């Protein structure tokens, strides 16, 4: 089977192992009154799949999971499932305390999702035993495979990740912490503690392309791409360059597009979502503003973003002309 030729009937882990394109984390579209705009959301998801996304992660961090009611969440997940029509898997977010995370998991299953991204529990800083209990209950609540999201108040020891890898229904770990020493020890511990397993790892840092060369050195080839929301051609070119070992293209895009974007993203709290949403609007799809407690980027930051996007596409044209 050629690279990326994944059959839609295969288990989620198999479909994600060698993706044909970036993992797409769509923003959630809101109308002028702040209500969820399912028509625009459907268009956003549809465009992403047609552009070459390998999977849709609906209502996760970039999709403002924290700002959605359960009803809005389920409506968006169902819309994503309908728009993908089985062409690529749909993974839905699930979070908050254990009872609510279980509820969101079941809503996602009812909506037809193929899997879950289990985000950190709300507020509390729990010990390893409590974290394991939380994710085991989420995994047991549905038949959906679960990827656990490590970040903020959900940071695991290597021994705990071994236990997660042994848990029925848990298929992977997405890292949003960025501690490469910890990740190397986690990968090693699971490799020796669960030999022969196919546990998945994802680079889940904001603008993961910026750090993906480092993660690849650990054997972690999967990563989330928020840039794909507004510049799919750039995200695809970078993804292809990594797969083909084209360091010249990867470095050109890192130096001329991704690094400037990351530096701009650092200018405001919540810009990992708000700046992405501004990018989608700049590219012609009115997905509305972010919901509180996030805030919109400053006007001059949006202007800088427009120039960075233009520069990114110019770099693609330059590369194509060589």
Give the Cα-Cα-Cα angle 180, 277, 240 (nearest 5 degrees).
Answer: 50
CA separation for the pair 238, 30 (Å, rounded): 29
Q: Report if pTM > 0.85.
A: yes
Mean pLDDT along residues 11-33 = 92
Annotated catalytic residue within 30, 41, 104, 149: 149
Tokens 């609540």 — which residue?
A: 141
pLDDT computed for residue 11 by the predictor: 87
DSSP code for 237: H
pLDDT computed for residue 160 by the predictor: 98
pLDDT (tens digit per residue) in 207-217: 999 999 999 99
Using alpha carbons, list the distances in angstroms from residue 192 to 155, 196, 205.
20, 9, 26
**Which of 228 and 197 is assigned the larger pLDDT?**
228
CA separation for the pair 185, 252 (Å, rounded): 31
Catalytic annotation on 174? yes
Mean pLDDT along residues 96-108 = 97
Mean pLDDT along residues 7-29 = 83
pLDDT (tens digit per residue) in 128-176: 999 999 999 999 999 999 999 999 999 999 999 999 999 999 999 999 9
Residue 2's pLDDT band (cuts 50, 70, 90): very low
Catalytic annotation on 41? no
pLDDT reading at 322 higher than 90: no
Mean pLDDT along residues 191-200 = 92
Annotated catalytic residue within 30, 41, 135, 174: 174
């Amino acid at each position: 089977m050629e690279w990326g030729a994944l059959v839609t009937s295969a288990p989620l882990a198999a479909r994600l192992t060698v993706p044909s394109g970036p993992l797409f984390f769509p923003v959630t579209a809101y109308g002028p009154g702040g209500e969820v705009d399912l028509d625009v959301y459907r268009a956003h998801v549809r465009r992403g799949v047609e552009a070459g996304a390998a999977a849709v992660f609906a209502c996760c961090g970039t999709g403002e999971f924290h700002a959605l009611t359960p009803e809005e969440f389920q409506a968006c997940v169902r819309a994503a499932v309908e728009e993908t029509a089985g062409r690529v898997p749909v993974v839905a977010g699930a979070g908050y305390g254990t009872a609510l995370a279980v509820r969101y998991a079941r809503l996602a299953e009812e909506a037809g999702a193929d899997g879950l991204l289990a985000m950190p529990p709300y507020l509390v800083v729990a010990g390893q035993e409590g974290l394991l209990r939380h994710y085991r209950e989420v995994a047991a609540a549905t038949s959906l495979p679960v990827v656990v999201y490590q970040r903020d108040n959900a940071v695991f020891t290597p021994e705990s990740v071994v236990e997660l890898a042994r848990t029925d229904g848990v298929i992977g770990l997405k890292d949003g912490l960025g501690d490469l020493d910890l990740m190397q020890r986690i990968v090693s511990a699971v490799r020796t503690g669960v030999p022969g397993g196919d546990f998945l790892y994802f680079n889940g840092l904001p603008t993961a392309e910026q750090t993906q060369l480092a993660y690849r050195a650990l054997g972690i080839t999967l990563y989330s791409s928020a840039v794909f929301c507004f510049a799919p051609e750039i995200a695809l070119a970078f993804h292809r360059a990594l797969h083909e070992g084209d360091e010249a293209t990867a470095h050109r895009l890192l130096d001329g597009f991704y690094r400037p974007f990351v530096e701009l993203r650092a200018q405001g709290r919540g810009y990992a979502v708000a700046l992405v949403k501004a990018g989608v609007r700049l590219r012609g799809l009115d997905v509305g503003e972010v919901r509180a407690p996030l805030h919109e980027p400053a006007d001059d930051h949006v202007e800088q973003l427009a120039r960075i996007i233009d520069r990114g596409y110019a770099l693609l044209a330059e590369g194509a002309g060589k």
